[in-house]
């Protein structure tokens, strides 16, 4: 399962020609004036040139076998799919739009975690997205979380693990901290396959591990189940 871009991911999941993007005008600011080797705005512009998007997530409305959904897909080529203020805002808007329009929400995660260049503002997105998903749940609409390789850090510690159903692609790396950090913390060796999708499914953190070729049909069946 090689990584695919956000646009390709959406094409694999939704009905042809049904996707309508939302919130593309929501773009990054530079609240902390962060600078290491380069200024943060320069990094954002370079990431946009590399990925063809202006942020690390693509959100919009589409149909899957005729059923309307809100869908968000991460773009790993944009600063490692990191979650900054814009990513959190777009996800929150997608969840609120799903609640308002009475449609399911699907998020495909592929991220290294929170964006360090926005500091605490990035970490605040964990609570912000979780609150938006709580509103979606109160509205009675399902949320399907799809975990691609990798799903780590603040993304895995927030909305990625809050799905009504959590799906993952085979061998996807899923976790919070890296295995080396965990081993140093616990002072022991981790089991074989730790933090891979199959290991998490065996231990109850993931509901379904499915190949990419079957993912669309699996999602469609789940949506039909919730609709029933």
Ordered per-residue pLDDT tens for the chain, 228 residues:
688 999 999 999 999 999 999 999 998 889 899 888 789 999 999 999 999 999 999 999 999 999 999 999 999 999 999 999 999 999 999 999 999 999 999 999 999 999 999 999 999 999 999 999 999 999 999 999 999 999 999 999 999 999 999 999 999 999 999 888 999 999 999 998 999 999 999 999 999 999 999 999 999 999 999 987
What one-character-per-residue DSSP string does the chain give? -----HHHHHHHHS-TT--EE--TT-----TT--BSSSBHHHHHHHHHHHHSSSSSEEEEEEEETTEEEEEEEE-TTTGGG-B-HHHHHHHHHHHHHHHHHT--EEEEEEE--B-GGGHHHHHHHHHHHHHHHHHHHHTT--EEEEEEEEE-HHHHTTGGG--SEEEE-TT-BB-SS-HHHHHHHHTSPPPTTTTBHHHHHHTTS-SEE--HHHHHHHHHHHHHHHH-
pTM for this entry = 0.95
């Amino acid at each position: 399962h090689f990584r695919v871009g956000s646009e390709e991911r959406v094409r694999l999941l939704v009905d042809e020609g049904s996707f309508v993007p939302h919130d593309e005008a929501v773009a990054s600011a530079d609240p902390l004036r962060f600078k290491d080797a380069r200024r943060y705005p320069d990094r954002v512009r370079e990431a946009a040139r590399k990925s063809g998007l202006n942020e690390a997530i693509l959100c919009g409305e589409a149909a899957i076998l005729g059923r309307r959904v809100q869908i968000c897909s991460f773009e790993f080529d944009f600063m490692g799919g990191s979650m900054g203020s814009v990513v959190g805002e777009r996800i929150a808007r997608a969840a609120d739009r799903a609640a308002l329009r009475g449609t399911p929400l699907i998020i495909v995660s592929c991220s290294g975690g929170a964006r360090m260049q926005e500091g605490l503002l990035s970490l605040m997105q964990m609570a912000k997205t979780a609150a938006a998903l709580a509103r979606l749940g109160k509205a009675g609409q399902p949320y399907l979380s799809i975990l691609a390789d990798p799903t780590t850090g603040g993304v895995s510690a927030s909305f990625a693990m809050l799905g009504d159903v959590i799906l993952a692609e085979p061998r996807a790396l899923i976790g919070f901290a890296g295995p080396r950090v965990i081993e140093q913390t616990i002072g022991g060796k981790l089991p074989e396959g730790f933090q891979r999708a199959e290991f998490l499914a065996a231990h109850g953190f993931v509901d379904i591990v499915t190949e990419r070729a079957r993912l669309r049909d699996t999602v469609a069946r789940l949506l039909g189940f919730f609709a029933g």
